[in-house]
A and B are shown apart, each in its own frame.
Chain A
Amino acid sequence: MNALEVKNLVKDYGNTKAVKGISFDIAEGEIFGLIGPNGAGKTTTLRLVATLLEITSGSIKVFGIDAVKDPAGVRKIISYLPEEAGAYKNLKGRQYLEFIANFFGDGKEKEEILRRGVQIAGLGQRLDDKIERYSKGMLRRLVVARALMVEPRLAILDEPTAGLDVLHAQEIRRIIKDFVRSGRAVLLSSHNMLEVEFLCDRVALISEGMIVERGTPQGLKERYKRPNLEEVFVEVVG
């Protein structure tokens, strides 16, 4: 079974057509990247998959569950990380993770989720600080931990490493790579082509709401005879 099947997906915001009929699917164990210029429709697509937006037309199936007919069912097996996500500032980092863990289990199960969260966040002592005192990167690590600690079958990550320093971005990438083993899948968007090359098994390049190119990073580089994905991006979109 595919982890995600998106068919002819269309989303209009009033008169703005943000997504104009895109189709792709993600296999289990796969990391799939959406790349494209600002305003291309990446976030819109991710929000549609996360059941946050109503679909104008087309269909989305997550592990066979229809996102329109059973959004609650989809929400049980996904985890969505918004771009520039915040957290409740008056809580401590640990309390925030606990708050989220409470929705997914209790007792031992919750403890296990929390333990993973603490480990992924890697904030050490600072986890017991108020979130309002966190730097941008610390906050990002906390919310990435929040998204991955519940071990969703499909993780939807909007620019997961934006704002992180090189070391921590690498750390998060490693975590995402580990995470995808054992039948899980990841759908992410990114502006960092190095990251996409390193992480993604396949990518789709979207521009103005349509997929204009797709393939493995290696395949795309070969097709356009370019040394890296960044130059492919410029050639296709520019």
Chain B
Amino acid sequence: MLNIIKKEIRELLTPASIASMVVVAVIFALVGQMVGSPMNEITEKPSIGVVNQDEGLFSQTAIAVINENAEVLYLGEDRDAGWEKVQEKGIALLVIPEDFSSSILEGRPARIEVNWLLKGTGLMDNISSVAVTGLIQMINTSISEELISGGIEIPPEVALSPVGLSETVFLKDKVIPGVSPEALSGLLISQSVTIPIVIMMMVIMAGSTVISSMGLEKESKTLETLLSLPIRRRDIVIGKLAGSAAVGLIMAVIYMLGFNYYMESLTVSSSIDLGALGLSLGMGDYLLVGLSILLSLFAGLALCLLIGTFARDYKNAQTLIFPVTILAMVPMFLVMFKDFGTLSLLLQVILFIIPFSHPMMAMRALMFDNYVLVIGGIAYLAVFSIAITLVLTKIFSSDRLLVGWSWPKRGAKA
């Protein structure tokens, strides 16, 4: 029995499979770090600008609280100057309006205007907003204490909660009033979570079928039979790709339906609709998204078929699926947590090169009219697909598939 165990382990634990396990571990560690860091950001002071247009008493209380609990980039009366500072490295511009103190004294709740500067809609792009919301809460408490200890006579509900906030989100060149960053990202959750997950699953499922079917075809010699039939090599390659692409699309639709249902049951239906925010997509946009999905699937499967040509048999093929899994998971995590625009240049390049990233990013990019990214991605995918298909046709026309990829001194029996 020990013998059998040893054999199994030797078969499954090849350098390739160990390497891919290491990569998976590293990715998870990195993701953990990435997710971990915004948590730290909350305890850090938020960087904000403050415009004070009120000359009354309470604005001074508010500013004192802000000074203590936030990194103040700008404090003055000029909105534009403040916004400029915020754009450099801040997340929000707070505006204390002229009637701030007077309305509290008159027994009406006052409002602080919060202008959010959102860089992206990934899960990690908006998490720091919590710190600012907390700040407003603290201002509220301080002024409330002052009101009560000062014995100023105003309605109790105002005394307990004298300050409200009115929010506006500035995202790229869109201005979205009356929305908090959280609400917005909740609304866009299908773009930031559902689509990447569905695409990842589709790629892994369809990709692994292609790779293991190559392994199986080699093992059962059906590939030999197929290659001896009067069929053009290109047709074999395209036939295999198109067949598995169709299966992939069907799986994607099923996942999408299931996932949407799951998401809908989680998120409370929001009163904000995307159309009103100027975020809805037109017919042309959906065509682009569809094209992106289709091409990425095709490119991905071509890549998998190429990987599959290295498979010696069915079992060996299983270990070759790992790299594809990684290629599908990296963009999924990146796209889920960050917008393309907020990534470092290196990550942007990596994301662009991996064919699976493009459909994951497409819908969100189109909402914010980033046509360059989407159309550039589609062009890249088309070139990628054609190149790999040509390479594949070459391989299928040679005897590599049967002889195996023999490196010097090592001949593998097909």
Is B280 positioned at the interface, with any CB of A under 8 Å from its CB?
A: no
Scan residues 329-347 of chain B and give those whose CB is less than 8 A from a CB of chain A.
Answer: none
| Residue ID in chain B nearest A75 by CB atoms | B230
| Residue ID in chain B nearest A86 by CB atoms | B220
| Residue ID in chain A nearest B407 by CB atoms | A14
When distances are taken between beta carbons in the complex, the residues of chain B under 8 Å from A50 are: 228
Asked if residues A53 and B228 are in contact (CB atoms below 8 Å), the reply is no
CA distance A119 to B398 in the complex (A): 35
Is B225 positioned at the interface, with any CB of A under 8 Å from its CB?
A: yes
* Segment at the interface with B among A76-84, A110-118, A229-237: A76-84
Asked if residues A78 and B221 are in contact (CB atoms below 8 Å), the reply is no
Asked if residues B229 and A100 are in contact (CB atoms below 8 Å), the reply is yes
CB distance from B77 to the nearest CB of A (A): 75
Size band of the B side of the interface? 20 to 34
Is A85 positioned at the interface, with any CB of B under 8 Å from its CB?
A: yes
Is B411 positioned at the interface, with any CB of A under 8 Å from its CB?
A: yes
Is B402 positioned at the interface, with any CB of A under 8 Å from its CB?
A: yes
CB distance from B242 to the nearest CB of A (A): 16
CB-CB under 8 A for A80 and B411, given A52-B402, A54-B398: no
- A/B interface sample: 20 pairs, CB < 8 A: A14-B406, A14-B411, A15-B411, A47-B224, A47-B402, A52-B228, A54-B398, A79-B228, A80-B225, A82-B225, A85-B220, A85-B222, A85-B224, A86-B219, A87-B220, A88-B222, A103-B229, A103-B231, A104-B230, A146-B225
13 A-B pairs besides A72-B230, A87-B222, A146-B225 with CB distance below 8 A are: A13-B411, A15-B411, A50-B228, A53-B402, A53-B403, A54-B399, A72-B232, A75-B229, A80-B225, A85-B220, A85-B221, A85-B224, A88-B222
| Residue ID in chain A nearest B228 by CB atoms | A80
Is A95 positioned at the interface, with any CB of B under 8 Å from its CB?
A: no
CA distance A43 to B220 in the complex (A): 16
CB distance from B317 to the nearest CB of A (A): 15
Scan residues 143-202 of chain A and give those whose CB is less than 8 A from a CB of chain B.
Answer: 143, 146
When distances are taken between beta carbons in the complex, the residues of chain B under 8 Å from A75 are: 228-231
When distances are taken between beta carbons in the complex, the residues of chain A under 8 Å from B411 are: 13-16
Shortest beta-carbon contacts, A-B, top 5: A86-B220, A80-B228, A82-B221, A75-B230, A53-B399
Is B227 positioned at the interface, with any CB of A under 8 Å from its CB?
A: yes
| Residue ID in chain A nearest B232 by CB atoms | A72
CA distance A213 to B228 in the complex (A): 29
Chain A 65-105 interface mask (CB, 8 Å, partner B; 1/0): 00000001001101110111111110000000000100110
When distances are taken between beta carbons in the complex, the residues of chain B under 8 Å from A47 are: 224, 402
CA distance A15 to B408 in the complex (A): 9
Is A23 positioned at the interface, with any CB of B under 8 Å from its CB?
A: no
| Residue ID in chain A nearest B404 by CB atoms | A13
CA distance A78 to B229 in the complex (A): 8
CA distance A51 to B398 in the complex (A): 10
Asked if residues A86 and B403 are in contact (CB atoms below 8 Å), the reply is no
| Residue ID in chain B nearest A146 by CB atoms | B225
CB distance from B231 to the nearest CB of A (A): 6
When distances are taken between beta carbons in the complex, the residues of chain A under 8 Å from B222 are: 85-88
When distances are taken between beta carbons in the complex, the residues of chain A under 8 Å from B398 are: 54
CA distance A143 to B229 in the complex (A): 13
Among B219, B220, B228, B399, max chain A CB count under 10 A is at B228
Chain B 387-414 interface mask (CB, 8 Å, partner A; 1/0): 0000000000011001100101101000
